[in-house]
Structure 1
């Protein structure tokens, strides 16, 4: 859905009702990952979404944040480690929460996702179209939807974290995207320059 002056989107309606107010916290009291009914770990600040990616990306950009999709799977040991260790580390959790909107999708899920080109697929088929092979995988997208509809799959991403990196590299990947390091170097080269 496109943003048009004077038109209230579903996202704006939810925010007006106060449903989106959880993301306005200034600091986590004590971050806690909870296990949802679908078997995926969730943080209370993850994006509540109608699964319209253009709308989600535009909403993140309007808040001065970057948009990312995190892929999880029930029973995934690396997903559990990421949520129970990394995402509860105040340094990691605060940086990601303050700088990113995270949409958590189920690798084998069936919820319908509206892609940047308007196409609709279930989560599993959507992941297959983007060649998501394992969990966790995190896809990072540009700040604007301009030109994304004409691209396909991974070509829409600015970066990808396939699998779980060690905590220092995990946080560095989010900094890489936030600082637009992908415009100057691949992640491994950028990371070496940061040391």
Structure 2
């Protein structure tokens, strides 16, 4: 998350951003193009999947994807090898030829896939018949994640959001074990992708019937936050438990990156942390489906089992009748007698 936030902070300065020349993502074909031709070439070529990347010049996350992530040579080579990829800009009406060899504008193509500008960026993956394999809405935090998305599209049968989340967790663990990424980077798999709109995330919590939202408050150069990311947050069992019961997001208490509060108010992450009285880190706060605070835990937890117990303490309503120390002591006693 911190890797992404430092980059997004720069992207939010729109005066300087708009002055930047458009970076040419080597694996994305720019309009005008004929999608019908891509279907015939996909059937005979080595690129079995079509990617439509919907973007807009005023979308900060789109700019981050195109001007930072997509410039990664390994990622670009992977998509150039395995996909036929098209850039679909929605900031202007550009005429294209669709899969049925009919003229269509970029905005009409977006409407066909039920994409609006406030959902961007959106990646649509299609097979050789032009059928949607998977819709990925949002950004990835690192170029590796977007490559893993492509690997998963090519190799996995189950195309559910939960299946990709599990695959992403697996790849982070493998990369960390092989020392391809620092241990703390594997903790990215613990957190859900988000546009930073907590009010919208509450609706997802209700739809998915989860217990609520977990916010992990941290800050740059916090050794206790770093240690927690390298221990409890990378444990597969902890990641699976929290993904089942909560939507989990990281908040940098010193960041000027904006988010939308539970009540729809836009503010910086720094102001949000101050509003919730977070001044030292790490702090974990659990919120219910209405955005009301359920429980607040201050301080580091490095033991993954204890971290799971913290989640159980909230899910089971233990916080209503006893403190966490008592709950944890009972859990340890039960574990020792088994």
In which range does the TM-score fall when normalised by the shorter chain?
A: 0.7 to 0.9
State the match for 2:137 in structure 1: 19
Taking a change above 3 Å as real, the CA distance of residues 178 and 31 of structure 1, as seen in their structure-2 partners, is farther
Distance in structure 2 (CA, Å) of the matches to 1:134 and 1:23: 33
User: Does 2:325 match 1:179?
Assistant: no
State the match for 1:3 in structure 2: none
User: Does 2:295 match 1:159?
Assistant: yes
The structure that has the greater radius of gyration is 2
How far does the alpha carbon of each residue in 1:17-64 deviate from its partner, in whole angstroms, 9 at most, with x for none? 3237664344742544767xxx98851352222222221122123223
Of the three residues 307, 310, 331, the one matched with 1:170 is 307
Distance in structure 2 (CA, Å) of the matches to 1:104 and 1:114: 14
Distance in structure 1 (CA, Å) of the matches to 2:316 and 2:172: 25
Q: CA deviation at 1:87?
A: 1.8
What's the C-alpha RMSD, in Å, of the aligned pairs?
A: 3.3
- Counting helix residues as a fraction of each chain, which structure ranks higher? 2
For the 8 Å contact 2:215–2:284, the answer to whether it is kept is yes
Taking a change above 3 Å as real, the CA distance of residues 88 and 64 of structure 1, as seen in their structure-2 partners, is same
How far does the alpha carbon of each residue in 1:78-123 deviate from its partner, in whole angstroms, 9 at most, with x for none? 1211112222222222222332211111110112222223322211
TM-score, scaled relative to structure 1: 0.73
Of the three residues 168, 187, 191, the one matched with 1:46 is 191
State the match for 1:124 in structure 2: 270
Structure 1 unmatched ranges of 5 or more: 1-7, 149-155
Structure 2 unmatched ranges of 5 or more: 1-114, 124-133, 139-159, 334-338
Distance in structure 1 (CA, Å) of the matches to 2:317 and 2:260: 26
For the 8 Å contact 1:30–1:88, the answer to whether it is kept is no
Return 160-169 or 25-34, whichever deviates more: 25-34
Q: CA deviation at 1:131?
A: 0.5
Distance in structure 1 (CA, Å) of the matches to 2:313 and 2:300: 16
Return 103-112 or 80-89, whichever deviates more: 80-89
Distance in structure 1 (CA, Å) of the matches to 2:199 and 2:311: 21
Return 77-86 or 45-54, whichever deviates more: 45-54
TM-score, scaled relative to structure 2: 0.45
Paired residue secondary structure (1:175)? helix
Taking a change above 3 Å as real, the CA distance of residues 31 and 99 of structure 1, as seen in their structure-2 partners, is farther
Distance in structure 2 (CA, Å) of the matches to 1:110 and 1:92: 30
